[in-house]
Amino acid sequence: MAAESPKAGQVHTLELESELPTKKPRLVAKKSESKRAKKRRTKKTDLPEECSNEDVLWRDVVAALGQDVVDNALEDGTEFDSPFEFKQEVELEVSSICSNGEAIARSLNETRPWTVVVPFALPKEKIRARIYRNARLHSFADLLEVITPNPELRDQSRVKCQYFGTCAGCQYQMLSYPTQLDLKRDVVVKAYKNFSKLSEDRVPEILPTIGSPLEYGYRTKLTPHFEAPPKKAKPSDTQDKPDWLKIGFNRIGTSKTMDIEECPIATSVINDEYSSAREGIIQNIFNFKRGVSLLYRDSLDASDEQHVCVTNQKATCREKVGDKIFEYVAGSFFQNNNSVLVPLTSYVRDAIFPAITSTSPPTHLVDAYCGSGLFAITLSPHFSTVAGIELSQDSIRAATRNAELNSIPKEKITFRAGDAAAIFATVGDFHPNKTVLLIDPPRKGCDDNFIQQLLAFRCSTVVYVSCNVHTQARDVGKILNATQNEEAGKKYVLESVRGFDLFPQTAHVESVAVLRLV
């Protein structure tokens, strides 16, 4: 693919290079012997924090180079001896896709073991890239040109956003949707391999990823941002947007804002509102003394027929999930892809109550990290008693109101504000054999206190929903290994794991794991 001007459907090309921000190298290419010796001494503590983004990427680097090669480099202290200079242009061949959606590539001319992480490139492609940072056994680079595309994977006519290839939001617009779903399954497979500490025979075959009914126009929340005018900027007589004013989203690999007029993965009411708000911001930019992060939420109006856009953090949003209605405070958590919520909640229901039901199905549901009650309320018809817990007071108020809106009796469903681990002290009358625990924590996963209490409570089924499959795999491994190591008693087994695509065109994947006590 030759360098050409950036039109919709094209990758990051030469014309864009001058706009690229200058990045400082964090590591120098060569180190003195004493620095190498120090590195050798500190290498263990240097490794990234478990399950951090750096750690997830590091596991991809290790897989690409091979554990032996990595061990050798760590041993002889050459793991930071990058063969590349800052801003060096290199020709590379892509070997695989990392869990963050970026490509892992190797230099065609470099014999030393080293990888380069480059966004928007695909396996088997020959690319030209420019190094902007060196790290342990890998460098980061911007994609300059796809020299030889992989026609089996890449089809630029699929790309729907003119900023794809420079905006940090999406990674996969050039791929078919089935390929995106396959890549997300690979992420789940790798997460359990790398972070669960479970032997292969204890992890079931990861099921195919369930797709989102909407592949574009699905995002019900957008948060574009802009900076206040620079000190030297002066208002002009014209109404034109000054060059320094960028309203939009971050450029890939940077914290610089790109000017972006619309986002095709967001719903139409959000894009309409954002488009007119941009005009107002441009006209009034000199009234802003600080940068602003905007909020756009798709909501139903009072008639439940029309979609409207809510921009006030404190306003109430309304959404339907199947026959259930949900209200929540715009600034609080609610899943961002309404189109997939019926498939997701139905899947969880069917996983709890499989076709061949036991003679004694569960009757009680605990929804930990319940937000405004999505799982508690959609699953409530199948249980006699439901209890939810959540840290955010706003979300708990919303969950309580949502129970009323959906005519669920107060005697059947209760919500309380607090740390998730506190729920176990309040469900003493829930028989563990008759109870399902649903967990949907934030990206960092569950803390050890929660896992200890879960193990003490020991209910028959645990369904773990997560937007971070790496921390999910870590936590599931802790739960299974804890019961496995006990001499007697029932053990938790991992019955199924499956990805759900809540975020088409991006590398993110939601994962649902089902654990049973047998």
Ligand X SMILES: C[S@@+](CC[C@H](N)C(=O)[O-])C[C@H]1O[C@@H](n2cnc3c(N)ncnc32)[C@H](O)[C@@H]1O
Enumerate binding residues for ligand X (CB under 6 A): 333-335, 369-371, 374-375, 389-392, 395, 419-420, 440-442, 467
SS (H, E, C) 35-74: HHHHHHHHHHHHCCCCCCHHHHHHHHHHHHHCHHHHHHHH
Output the smallest distance, CB 375 to ligand X, in A. Answer: 6
Is residue 467 among the annotated active site residues?
yes
Beta bridge partners, 258, equal: 249
Rounded Cα distance, 99 and 156, in Å: 22
Output the smallest distance, CB 511 to ligand X, in A. Answer: 12
Q: Would you report the helix, strand and coil content of the chain in percent, each value rounded to 5?
A: 30, 25, 45
440 is in an annotated binding site: yes
Output the smallest distance, CB 342 to ligand X, in A. Answer: 13
Which residue's CB is nearer to ligand X, number 173 or number 337? 337
Rounded Cα distance, 471 and 443, in Å: 7
And the tokens for 97? Answer: 């896709």
Output the smallest distance, CB 59 to ligand X, in A. Answer: 23
At 473, give phi and psi (nearest 5°). -60, -40
Which CA distances in Å does 423 have to 177, 369, 388, 460, 492?
Answer: 40, 10, 8, 16, 20
Find the helix packing angle between 469-484 and 177-195, rounded to 10°. 40
What is the DSSP track for 138-167?
EEEEEEEEEEE--TTT--GGG---TTTTTB
Which residue's CB is nearer to ligand X, number 55 or number 419? 419
54 is in an annotated binding site: no
At 402, give phi and psi (nearest 5°). -65, -35
Output the smallest distance, CB 202 to ligand X, in A. Answer: 26
239 is in an annotated binding site: no
Which residue's CB is nearer to ligand X, number 166 or number 392? 392
Which residue's CB is nearer to ligand X, number 10 or number 299? 299
And the tokens for 123? Answer: 């396996």
Output the smallest distance, CB 395 to ligand X, in A. Answer: 5
Which residue's CB is nearer to ligand X, number 420 or number 469? 420
Which residue's CB is nearer to ligand X, number 179 or number 339? 339
Residue corresponding to tokens 């693919």:
1
Which residue's CB is nearer to ligand X, number 29 or number 417? 417
Identified catalytic residue from 309, 317, 459, 467: 467
And the tokens for 111? Answer: 């014999």
Beta bridge partners, 462, equal: 437, 515
And the tokens for 449? Answer: 């206190």
Residue 436: its H or E element: strand 435-439
Which residue, 514, 497, 367, is CA-closest to 439? 367
Output the smallest distance, CB 345 to ligand X, in A. Answer: 9
Output the smallest distance, CB 447 to ligand X, in A. Answer: 7
Which residue's CB is nearer to ligand X, number 112 or number 444? 444
Comparing every residue's Cβ against ligand X, the nearest one is 371
Rounded Cα distance, 231 and 248, in Å: 21
Determine contact, residues 444/421, Cβ cutoff 8 Å: no
Which CA distances in Å does 83 have to 134, 137, 203, 252?
Answer: 9, 10, 39, 24
Output the smallest distance, CB 515 to ligand X, in A. Answer: 17
Which CA distances in Å does 186 have to 100, 118, 205, 250, 509?
Answer: 11, 19, 11, 27, 10
Rounded Cα distance, 425 and 450, in Å: 11
Which residue's CB is nearer to ligand X, number 322 or number 442? 442
R_g of the chain computed on alpha carbons = 25
First to last CA, the chain: 56
Residues serving a catalytic function are: 467
Binding residues: 335, 369, 390, 440
Binding residues for S-adenosyl-L-methionine: 335, 369, 390, 440
